[in-house]
Chain A
């Protein structure tokens, strides 16, 4: 019988009753049985989080602990919480019970400052922390899907950040790969508005092209000369640049000295020469504009100044 008392936790309920009846008749064994029962109660307490039907202790424990402190729960505890969550999802009555407990906990906590109490009891000062992002209100139990969705969202955000970082890095690499003269000579739409001229897409040059015709053709070629993949790593087509340069020289030769279109052609030619990395040719064309002190003179002068700052080529 003493061995049976020792193994009280292993007995079936009917066997346990037999032991209890025996001990009632043999009170000298009562202490041994009380010890065995204490152990039995301990085992029951240990099973609270494993129970198929979580009781109030397990639900309240879960309510307080499952999001506490911002640190992930140990795996064994998270497994228990996952089981509880599954039960809450499957059992509306259990979920209602959980809500009641969570509301009670929120009521108990409301209006009492745990930080102040901790600091007063211990003499320690807590570091300032960001406020909790969720209100201390008792609400319905969490759904399993949002938990997984939250994890998925974290991955999506991480992937988006990584993508932005990659694009940024590529953009920077592309920019660094572009020669300084190209950055200086970067063509923009303002470069193509020749005073009062209204530019239209250029068709093939007529048999006897005018200066306007040549200018429009050169601008069309320059628009086509620049390529960039997704805005990264810009490049200029050498053949189109060369053809545009010839046309612009023709414009400059056809027009009267100091005419706006001639100066415009010299200005664009200066940029084209820079894109061709012909620094001497660029300077010669731009000085034609600067010396007239007229149309595009300020822009040409500014460009020459920046060219002086470029590393020697």
Chain B
């Protein structure tokens, strides 16, 4: 132990603030990486400030977390279906609901493209919503139900044996028996990954997934496989604003980055797409990612306002 916490925190904050500016260079990043690697105390201080800064960004953003309560009213004698328009900045969802005998309360959460946000449901369950994600939550005395309309969410479900927590994604359903898992709705399939605990997924036989297992569920078939928990953590690192890769082909890394950035990166040829890379990147800093591909992997980069094109030569 040499420097005081105050001094280390000053250094850490200095790095953090300068990194926010456009003038942050690859050289600066190297200095930061070097400083971080020098001591665990440096890492603790920096990650603590990043954590706090992420909270501030999220709270200040406001637009990233949108909570609306919609009340469906009972319309006596009306046989027709009721269409409720719920407006959320950036888009709207059409919610069709037949008049029911009991007014129900549902809450919608949505993130914009590129936004990541956390929410706490009324039952205490913690949700982390990835970019361009929309969900709806409803609870009753018998159960808790959440629909994923689009995107990906990570759940940390509070235990309530009397009220199972069920997540619907398209035609798939995930019943929660344990605690931490993610559900991602893609166009034709749903991907469920369990970090802790157990979940039961719909499908023939109703497979139960445990820690480290992932199910890719299509309409007619499912695939279940196991991964080392650290690999799974890496895949879910988006929750802290980081994309982490290890032996990952560029085309996959690029697909991930494109989920958070308007300016798309295009893989120009198969050779560059297959090149494997490793490292952890700030998912909001696409320029830095591309710069590292260029300098560390020799990738050729051409860019214009709308897109960035990568090629092997």
Partners in one complex: no
Chain A interface residues toward B at CB < 8 A: none
